[in-house]
Amino acid sequence: MIRNFCLVAAACAPLALAQSNPIAYTGAHIITVAGAEIPDGVLVIQNGRITTVGARNAVSIPAGAQVVDAVSKVIMPGIVDSHSHIGEPEGGDSSSPIQPDVRVLDSVNVHDAHIEKARAGGVTTANVMPGSGRLSSGQTLYLKLRKGNTIDDLLIKLPDGSIAGGLKMANGTNPRGTPPQPGTRGKAAALVRAEFIKAQEYRAKIIAANGDASKLPPRDLRMEELVEVLDGKRTVQFHTHRHDDIMTVIRLSQEFHFKVVLHHVSDGWMMAEEIAKAKVPVSVIVIDSPGGKEEAMNASPVTPARLEAAGVPFGFHTDDPITDSRLFLREAGLGVRNGLSRSTALYAMTLANAKILELDSRIGSIEPGKDADFIVLSGDPLSVYSHVLETWIEGKKVFDRSDPHDRLEQVGGEGASHDQNPFWADDDGDEIGGRS
């Protein structure tokens, strides 16, 4: 067995080495999102980054590059999902209505088949969230959907070494219940307000201690997390549907001066001007069969167009499994069908969500210096006839429709929902065996 493994590793060594060489896709229609579309373009990647993008007659392909003929194909940035539940994330339980200390970091199953399906839909980065059954169900994770054996392989690290993520909060019907959960919308807001006041007092004690350990308050993980929110180090990703709930979130964010993204906003079409005035971004879902809960009864596919007209920055999300990640592109198409501009629809799947996650310096558009996260499509991304052919993350192909296993994950069928099998990987993280 050891001998066979060594033979496989040796056979794959040239491939791993070749990844440091440039790869040039030529002749594709390139949607950069950051600028004009390029009808006959060239995309060059190397060492996990985009090095060059431009018109074929204006780009020099590096010597020794692997050249890929992409004529008749479309290349666009990897899709960024600003609200997803892939990986079976588990957050807060019924013990308390507000649990900011809970981390989905400690619960994500990286072998969940839905992660493979998301890659098959062109998703390269996702905000993986706990549920909305509590006023705060805990901390979210911004993940790169790399292939990996542990959650550490998918994490995005910030310049200060911390892990990228937000804080999930919710209002409306979902977090209501019997004590200790709030029974009314008014009580829900009161509990949130009281908890942030406690966090302000906790922070004040830390500041007053001025580094003197004897004067510091007892460590409180819940308060530590809310202080991060108060200090602007973590954005609140806030589940909210109804018009009055939307305004409650805006009031709370203004009272405590925290960064917030409004999620879902079923009544967003009637609240566009108010949201624009508050200058907060939105993560919106467009579904073709609204319903499921009373507060979502007014959901409308015109919401993206209304938000665009009002100047509200917004991105699309799947809330997977509410919308299957493989159908993400359809959301943008539905938006355009209901009055949204094509350019904003493409932006809302990519760079807008990168901005929502504060990762736009790395992802969301095809520009030199950014991570080589992109997808190759058979046709226009807004056409129902187009397929994702390849998905790349940081210069590594993580989905290939021509691979029978990957194709199964994309189109469905027997075995498509089985968890991913563990696999051997070389030092660069490239799979070299074990998957059936």
Domain boundaries, the chain: 2-77+366-433, 79-356
Nearest to 225 by CA among 351, 105, 307, 395: 105
- Spell out where 265-420 has E strands: 282-284, 314-316, 374-377, 388-393, 396-400
In CATH, the number for domain 2-77+366-433 is: 2.30.40.10
Q: What is the distance between the alpha carbons of residues 284 and 238, in angstroms, rounded to a whole number?
A: 11
Nearest to 188 by CA among 240, 263, 254, 258: 240
If DSSP codes are grouped into helix, strand and coil, which group holds residue 406? helix
- Please give the structure tokens belonging to residue 302: 């015109």
| Pairing assessment for the beta strands 141-144 and 282-284 based on DSSP bridges | unpaired
Burial class (CB in 10 A: 0-12, 13-18, 19+), 120: buried
Neighbour-count burial for 12-47, b at 16+ CB within 10 Å, e otherwise: beeebeebeebbbbbbbbbbbbbeeebeebbbbbbe
313: amino acid identity, one letter: P
Q: What is the distance between the alpha carbons of residues 268 and 337, in angstroms, rounded to a whole number?
A: 17
**Do the Cβ atoms of 286 and 305 come closer than 8 Å?**
no
Per-10-residue mean pLDDT, the chain, length 436: 36 44 97 97 98 95 96 98 97 96 97 96 98 97 97 97 97 95 97 98 97 95 98 98 97 98 97 98 87 82 97 98 95 96 98 98 98 98 97 98 94 82 52 44
Q: What is the distance between the alpha carbons of residues 117 and 265, in angstroms, rounded to a whole number?
A: 26
> Residue 10 has what pLDDT?
36
- Please give the structure tokens belonging to residue 278: 């508050």
**Do the Cβ atoms of 223 and 167 come closer than 8 Å?**
no
| Residues 312, 313, 316, 319, CA torsion sign | negative
Q: What is the distance between the alpha carbons of residues 139 and 90, in angstroms, rounded to a whole number?
A: 10
**Do the Cβ atoms of 80 and 104 come closer than 8 Å?**
no
Contacts of 214 (CB under 8 A, 6+ apart): none
DSSP line for 64-109: TPEEEE-TT-EEEEPEEEEEE-TT------TT-SB-TT-BGGGT--
Which CATH architecture describes the domain 79-356?
A: Alpha-Beta Barrel (3.20)
- The DSSP code for 236 is E
If DSSP codes are grouped into helix, strand and coil, which group holds residue 376? strand
> Residue 425 has what pLDDT?
45
- Please give the structure tokens belonging to residue 373: 């996260």
Nearest to 332 by CA among 343, 322, 320: 343
